[in-house]
Amino acid sequence: MPESHRAAPVRAELDRTDPEGAIAAAAKRLSNSGRWGADDILGTLNFLTEDKRREGAALVRRGVSFSLSQQFNAEGPQKGWRRRMNPVHTMLDTGLDAERGIQGFPHGHGGADDMITMPLQASTQWDGLGHIFDHGTAYNGRRAGDIVSSHGDRVTGIETVADRIAGRGVLLDVGRALGHEHGTDGELPDGFAITAEHLAATIAAQGETARVRRGDLVCVRTGHLSRARRSLAAGTGWGDYAGGPAPGLSFTTADWLHDSEIAGIATDTWGVEVRPNEFDIAFQPLHQVVIPHIGLFLGEMWDLDALAADCAADGVWEFFLAAAPLPVTGAVGAPVNPLAIK
C-alpha cells in the first residue's frame, strides 16, 4: 500500500493486569506471518529494497561517518545475567614471543595473533528472528524447535541477512526532544515509556528529515547510555545498564512499529523497550510481539550520542546507515559496528 494511503497507526490501550491477553491481541492484530510467503526468512527487511538502499546512499553529502558501536571489552556492562559475560580478549602470539624468536617462523618473521570469547549479545548487536518465541512459535508461524536447536538457527540465522541491512537511517532523539520536560537535559528518566505520540512529537520537533518512511532503519536515542557514561566517569561503574531500569519503547508502540513498515529499530538501551516493563508481571512483552509476529529486527546498546550531537548541529536527522551483523552461522543475534554516514 502506498505510504500516503496507509492508515494512521493505532495506539492500543494497556491493561497492566493482563499481559497474556495484550500480547495475544497484538500478535493477532499485527502478525506478518505469511505476508511474504511461507518460506520467508527476512521479515521486515523485505521493506528494505534496492531502491531504499539507493535512497540511503544518496544522503551522503559531507562524508563524515560515525561508529554507533560501543566497545567490546572486559570492562563492558554485562553482569552475568543468563550467562552473559563481557568479552574476554586473549593473545595467542605476542610481540614478546616474536622478540624471543619462539614462534617458529624463518628469517626474523614475527607477528601477533589473538582471539575473543563472548556472548554474541554482550555489546552493540542485532536481535535476529530466531531470538524470541511466543508460546513456542517463531517468526512466520514456524515451531521454535524446528528453527533453533543445539546446532543453532538453521532457518533464520543471522547470516541470512548479512548483506541486507544498509539503507536510510533516521535518528529520533527522544531524549533531546522531551528530556527537558522531565527534569533532565537530553535524557529520559528510567522507566519512561516512549509512546507513538512521543515519537510523533520528536519527529515534529526535528523536522522533515526525521520523517519515518517504509523501509527505514530507525534509531531512537533515550540518553540512557549518556547517563551510564557519567556513572563510569565518576568511578561508580555501569550500574544496572545491562538489564535494569531504563527508558524505552512502550508496549503500545507495537502498532506503530508494524504500521510504519520500518525495516528495523535500534536504541541506546539494553533491551529497546521500557524497563520495568509496563505489565504487573512481564518480561520483554514487546519483544514477544515484534520479533516472532511482526518479524522486526531490533538493535540494542547502540551508541547514538556523537551522531545525535551532529544531527542537532546541522538539523539533518537522516543518513546512510550500514549495519551488517557479523555473519555467525546459525546465530540468533550478532555483534555489529553500525556506520552512519552523512
| 119-157 pLDDT per residue, tens | 999 999 999 999 999 999 999 999 999 999 999 999 999
Collapse the DSSP code of 148 into the 3-class scheme (helix H, G, I; strand E, B; otherwise coil) and give the result.
Answer: strand
| 3-class secondary-structure state, position 26 | helix
Q: Which cell numbers hold the place of 224?
A: 540512557
Instruction: Tell me what pLDDT residue 184 has.
Output: 75
Q: Between the CA of residue 245 and those of 120, 190, 229, 265, 314, what are the distances in Å?
A: 22, 5, 16, 20, 32
The pLDDT, as a whole number, for residue 4 is 32
Residues 211, 59, 5, 293, CA torsion sign? negative
Phi, psi of 5 (to 5 degrees): -110, 0
Q: Which CATH number fits domain 16-81+119-341: 3.50.30.50, 3.40.920.10, 2.40.30.10, 3.40.50.150?
A: 3.50.30.50
- Positions of the chain with pLDDT lower than 70, given as ranges: 1-13, 183
Q: List, by residue range, all CATH 3.50.30.50 domains of the chain.
A: 16-81+119-341
> What is the C-alpha separation between 224 and 207, in angstroms, rounded?
23
Residue ranges with strand state E in 229-341: 248-249, 264-267, 297-300, 318-322, 333-335, 339-341
Q: Residue 6's pLDDT is what?
A: 37
For every residue of 163-227, DSSP letters joined together read TT-EEEEEEEEHHHHHGGGGT-SS-PPTT-EE-HHHHHHHHHHH-GGG---TT-EEEEE-SHHHH
- Residues 193, 195, 198, 199, Cα dihedral to 10°: 120
Q: Of 335, 333, 334, 319, which is closest to residue 66 (Cα–Cα)?
A: 319
In the numeric block, which cell numbers belong to residue 82? 543468563
pLDDT value at residue 183: 64
Stated pTM of the model: 0.94
Q: How far apart are CA 232 and CA 35, in angstroms?
A: 45
Question: What residue spans of 64-195 are helical by DSSP H?
Answer: 95-100, 144-147, 174-178
Main-chain dihedrals φ then ψ at residue 95, nearest 5 degrees = -60, -35
Q: Is the dihedral of CA 32, 34, 37, 38 positive or negative?
A: positive
Amino acid at 99: E
Asked if 55 and 168 touch (Cβ cutoff 8 Å), the reply is yes
Cell numbers linked to 233: 566517569
Q: What was the pLDDT predicted at 248?
A: 98
